[in-house]
Amino acid sequence: MSHDAFVIGVDYGSDSVRSVILDTRNGNEIATSVFEYPRWKDGLYCNPDANQFRQHPLDYIEGLIYTVKDCIEKAGGNVAKYIKGISVDTTGSTPVAVDHTGTPLALTPGFEENPNAMFVLWKDHTSIREAEEINQHAQKFETNYLKYVGGIYSSEWFWAKLLHVFREDEKVRNATASWVEHCDWIPFLLTGGKDVKEIKRGVCSAGHKGIWSEEFGGFPPNEFFASLDPLLDGFTSKLPRDTYTADKPAGNLSAEWAEKLGLNTDVVVGIGAFDAHMGAVGGQIEPYFLSKVMGTSTCDMLVVPQDEFGDKLVRGICGQVPGSIIPGMMGLEAGQSAFGDIYAWFKNLIAWPLRFVEDNTLRKSIESRIIKELSEAASQLPLNEEDELAVDWLNGRRTPDANQKLKGAIAGLNLGSNAPAVFKALVEASCFGARAIVDRFNAEGVPVKGLIGVGGVAKKSPYVMQVMADVMNMPIKIHKSEQTCAAGAAMFAATVAGLYPNVNEAMNAMGQGFDAEYRPIPEHTAYYAKRMKEYEAFGKFIETSLSA
């Protein structure tokens, strides 16, 4: 391997895109850059009251150009000629309607300001009804087409979003040549794709969100979709039949994009995947260790050697797909629809009066301290059986057993309930939700033997991580990297560029290791074991009440 071989990892998150340049010899970070989506930041094309969250493709394109060029500039312009590969991860399921050239409709005349022509962000829950219909419809078929996505289809996923957009917007429907995940579109863009039929689809997105499986010969048959709604009749013919693992190349950087980024056309572009999947690799996942990518939501990733996994079906998760995380292993995904978002919601709630503070510097200074001060105060509170108790479904429930109609709740409030006490209840609820996922894996015969924490919350919130260890009654080790998702993408880039024979070797050579570990406090674990049962009972009450 060359002593001057670098790769770029690009990580598209919910609020921003970040790129890193890593040294392929040791994973050392040469440069990093972050770009906040300007249109998203201004709240454009979103309607939280209607659970609508859309992102304009220009936010993605502008961010890609800015962060890559900024990284190269920070690293020294000479580094550009040593860049060997680039790979991309994105949130998901975040699909978009494209025309026959593979261009998102929002980039074509007449659709520039139409939210239905934009990327439908993972957290968009406008398709709850469509997801329910898919679940009911699937029961009519002898073949269980939902068995590899946990048995329940979610409104956060590919087909529910497509059907909702098609029903809502005839103009978009008539102009749509295909429906493409964000993680599949960016590699197509970078390689100069001009024909929608040339898009290479990753097994990660197809298997976990698109009901794709080798067992089905790809997607379920046209009959499944046509009988669900005639609007979907024939649509699978507009989608790629084959899928690829992320250690395979999508192609080389096109001349157009090489010029835009200041690179050359020898750079190999990898197949894309979801952020948490590549983040698990960046966080050095190992078999039976649950890699918890903790940000606005959580994605919990688990890998098991396929010969050990057998024919198990894990109910109520976000899918089990061979090769979706590490080729050669079964990749399993679970997660929570809101995690850091819960803390952000509470921060915004109690910070509401600050909007009347005219001193912008003072206001921002106070806002920046809220979570830190709440965490410190909450950590000092005694653990009492009469403490406030919360359920973490403020954005619905992703797993176990997806139900995006569910709502969050807080019980036990009284006139003595202050902000730290409520924050404590919310933190505990988010950890109880995480425990429910571990319990489901264990119950389904897939033992969770350890925890790995990655992402912003894991790095920045010692209080949350200590509560997590106490609730789980299991240590959680925190990965050193600040950018595990982008680092994971870079490891795949090193693999597709041929610098390592497989992603396991790239991960072992380029992984940065762990810099913290939280161990359960014995006197806390018994308390939380009891509170977990109360959380489950409270959750059952909420779920029953909402469905009554």
> So what's the pLDDT on residue 435?
98
Q: Residue 1: pLDDT above 50?
A: no
Rounded Cα–Cα distance for residues 23 and 83 (Å): 9
Percent of the chain whose predicted confidence (pLDDT) is above 70: 99
- Residue position matching structure tokens 């200590």: 466
Q: Is 146 helix (H, G, I), strand (E, B) or coil?
A: coil
From the options 3.40.50.150, 3.30.465.10, 3.30.420.40, 3.40.50.1000, give the CATH code of 340-479+516-547.
3.30.420.40
- Helix 522-547 / helix 419-443 crossing angle, nearest 10 deg: 90
Q: How confident is the model at residue 547 (pLDDT cuts 50, 70, 90)?
A: confident
Q: How many residues does the chain have?
A: 548
Q: Thinking of the domain 6-283+481-512, which architecture would CATH place it in?
A: 2-Layer Sandwich (3.30)
CB 463 within 8 A of CB 516: no
Per-residue tokens: 241: 């039949």
Q: What is the residue-averaged pLDDT of the chain?
A: 96
pLDDT at 318 over 60: yes
Q: What is the pLDDT of residue 57?
A: 98
Q: Where in the chain is the domain with CATH 3.30.420.40?
A: 6-283+481-512, 340-479+516-547
Which residue type occupies 131? A
- pLDDT value of residue 52: 97
Those residues with Cβ within 8 angstroms of residue 524's Cβ, 6 or more apart along the chain or in another chain: 383, 470
pLDDT (tens digit, 9 = 90+) per residue, 339-378? 999 999 999 999 999 999 999 999 999 999 999 999 999 9
Q: Is residue 3 pLDDT above 80, yes or no?
A: no
Q: How large is the angle between the packed helices 419-443 and 360-379, nearest 10 degrees?
A: 60
The 10s digit of each residue's pLDDT in 472-526 is 999 999 999 889 999 999 999 999 999 999 999 999 999 999 999 999 999 999 9
- pLDDT surpasses 50 at 394: yes
* pLDDT of 295: 87
DSSP conformation letters of 215-247: GGTBSPPHHHHHHH-GGGTTGGGGS-S-EE-TT
Tokens of 90: 């994105």
**Percent with pLDDT over 90 in the chain:** 95
Handedness of CA 520, 375, 451, 339 (dihedral sign): positive
- Mean pLDDT across the stretch 410-426? 97
Contacts of 235 (CB under 8 A, 6+ apart): 162, 179, 225
Which of 30, 86, 24, 2 shows the shortest CA–CA distance to 505?
Answer: 24
Question: Percentage helix, strand, coil, to 5, in the chain?
Answer: 45, 20, 35
Mean pLDDT of 47-51: 92
At 77, the pLDDT band (50, 70, 90 cuts) reads: confident
Three-state SS for 8-19 is EEEEECCCEEEE
Confidence of residue 548 (pLDDT cuts 50, 70, 90): low
pLDDT of 2 = 46
**Rounded CA separation 204/195 (Å):** 22
Q: Are 289 and 451 in contact (CB under 8 A)?
A: yes
Interval 36-54 mean pLDDT:
96
Dig out the tokens for 290 from the structure.
Answer: 């649950």
Is 0.85 topped by the overall pTM?
yes
Q: How large is the angle between the packed helices 419-443 and 462-472, nearest 10 degrees? A: 40
pLDDT in tens, 216-271: 999 999 999 999 999 999 999 999 989 999 999 999 999 999 999 999 999 999 99
